[in-house]
Amino acid sequence: MFTELSLHERLLKALAELSFQEPTPVQAAAIPHAIAGEDLYIIAQTGSGKTAAYVLPILQRLLDDDSKPLAPRALILSPTRELAQQIHQDIQALARFTFLKSELVIGGEDFKVQAAKLRKNPDIVVATPGRCLEQLAAGGLDASEVRTLVIDEADRMLDMGFSEDVLTIAQACPEQRQTMLFSATTGNAGIRRIVEQVLREPRWLELDSVKSDTPAIRQQVIPVDDNNHRERITKWLLLNECPGKAIVFTNTRVMADRLNGVLRAVEGLRVYVLHGEKDQKERKLAIERFKQGGNGVLVATDVAARGLDISELDLVINFDMPRSGDDYLHRVGRTGRAGAEGVAISLVAPHEWSLMSSIERYLRRQFERRVIKELAGSFRGPKNVKSSGKPVGAKKKKDDKKKPKRPKTPKPAARRKPAVPKGQVVLGSDDGFAPPKRRG
């Protein structure tokens, strides 16, 4: 019961309005320590109730704090704008019976308007790292009074190359502060570095790592010949096996746009697209419309879809195979929520078969193989597979041994290199598409 968690009656009233009756496991585990001001390192995924697990203690501590500094007392960092907006909305809902105010500091919105809102002295700021640094540098945001710093979805933050930004922002906050770090995956070297540098003797709570997987999701693999075949199968699945909502994930923005065009031409489908090149307004609109209707298809890249609380999905289609086991889990974890069985279908071309088997090994499960009779292609999976599940011949041949792995093509200098966590499976783009981009 929330009443056992020493929360202010105004917060209990908001919880009752939201019909949150019981704390979720992450809330029950984290809230008492967070209220006590401890540093926390929490492994929990989107959908676990992690936002309220740090927002409630922040609000409680602010209600207990009589000082009235002229700068925000809590700073929450989110990897994406959409997640930041969602956190901001959650704060507003939980703080509705208090005078506490939250403000957003995210890219894609007018810098000066944002600075003006910051001058109104919000208690909590929810920010994406890039814009947060810009507002700090311009003096729009003052972090000198921050008592609680939250780094949400830290694993994704690092994947997106924000590691240095996060460290710089943490340094701008007072040393005597509470820090809570949330990650959906267990520690890789990048996260350990942040934990060591930003948290002080943190309590480690592992509740719901994505690796724990979701047996309620039927996970299937359909072999495909090429992109044309992928498109035909995607259309068929959406028309024949999805009466409700579906997300189709692509690895690149170009493919998301292309597929959006292809699907829009299909009668009976309501299609929206979400990727990093869409501006803030377009993204907001796409999400709202997709959420509203009873059915619909959202074509999205991983980064653009990150942090969105889109539930009640009937189907997730991996139009391209995701580049890592964790990306796979983030994608398929969107279906089958709240006890309902969901379906996740990956379309796998010959060159992606090894990657798919690596993901199976990473998750320690085998996906169901499936062929759609009407659309059977010539590729049905490799004829011979090794015990690892990889196709025979997937590794380089003997006489290739001395050749360099891959010709080096000059790339434009990247400002920050995306961290590739150890333990994640194969990354790469031997499909001829653009290499992974940081802000999808």
Binding site for ligand AMP (CB under 6 A): 20, 22-24, 27, 46-52, 309
What does the CA dihedral 410, 412, 416, 417 come to, rounded to 10 degrees?
Answer: -30
Q: Least distance from C-beta 23 to ligand AMP, angstroms?
A: 5
Which of residues 30 and 63 has its CB atom nearest to ligand AMP in the complex?
A: 30
Least distance (Å) between residue 25 CB and ligand AMP = 10
- The two structure tokens encoding residue 67: 């000082």
Q: 154, 191 in Cβ contact below 8 A?
A: yes
The structure tokens listed for 242 are 């999805």
Sorted by sequence, the CB contacts under 8 Å of residue 249 that are 6+ apart come out as: 300, 301, 302, 305, 316, 317, 318, 319, 320, 322, 331
What is the closest distance, in whole angstroms, from the C-beta atom of residue 152 to ligand AMP in the complex? 9
Least gap, CB of 52 to ligand AMP (angstroms): 5
Cβ atoms of 312 and 260 within 8 Å: the answer is no
CB of 7 to ligand AMP, least distance (A): 12
Q: Which amino acid does the sequence have at 369?
A: R
Q: Of 86 and 219, which CB lies nearer to ligand AMP in the complex structure? A: 86
Residue 369: half-sphere exposure toward Cβ, Cα within 13 Å: 11
d(CA 280, CA 109): 8
CB of 94 to ligand AMP, least distance (A): 9
- Which structure tokens are listed for 223? 């072999």
Surface-to-core class of residue 339, CB atoms within 10 Å of its CB (0-12 exposed, 13-18 middle, 19+ buried): exposed
- Count of beta carbons in the 10 Å neighbourhood of residue 265: 9
Question: Minimum distance from CB of 330 to ligand AMP (Å)?
Answer: 13
User: What is the C-alpha to C-alpha distance for residues 234 and 114, in angstroms, rounded to an integer?
Assistant: 41
Taking the complex as a whole, how short is the minimal distance between the CB of residue 377 and ligand AMP, in angstroms? Answer: 38
To ligand AMP, the closest distance from the beta carbon of 348 in angstroms equals 30
Q: What angle do CA 338, 156, 53 make, to 5 degrees?
A: 50
208 vs 320, beta carbon nearer ligand AMP: 208
Tell the smallest beta-carbon distance from residue 28 to ligand AMP (Å). Answer: 9
The helix or strand, by DSSP H or E, that contains position 102, with its residue range, turns out to be strand 102-105
Burial of residue 352 (CB within 10 Å: 0-12, 13-18, 19+) is: buried
User: Which of 109/309 has CB closer to ligand AMP?
Assistant: 309
Nearer to ligand AMP, 46 or 148 (CB): 46
Query: Which of residues 22 and 65 has its CB atom nearest to ligand AMP in the complex?
Result: 22
Backbone angles phi, psi at 391, to 5 degrees: -65, 145
Nearer Cβ to ligand AMP, position 22 or 368?
22
Please state, in angstroms and rounded to a whole number, the distance separating the CA atoms of residues 248 and 347.
11
Place of tokens 């995210």: 106
Closer residue to ligand AMP in complex, CB, 48/234: 48
- Report the distance separating Cα 387 and Cα 218, nearest Å: 23
- Pick the closer one to ligand AMP by CB: 47 or 130: 47
Q: Nearer to ligand AMP by C-beta: 282 or 309?
A: 309
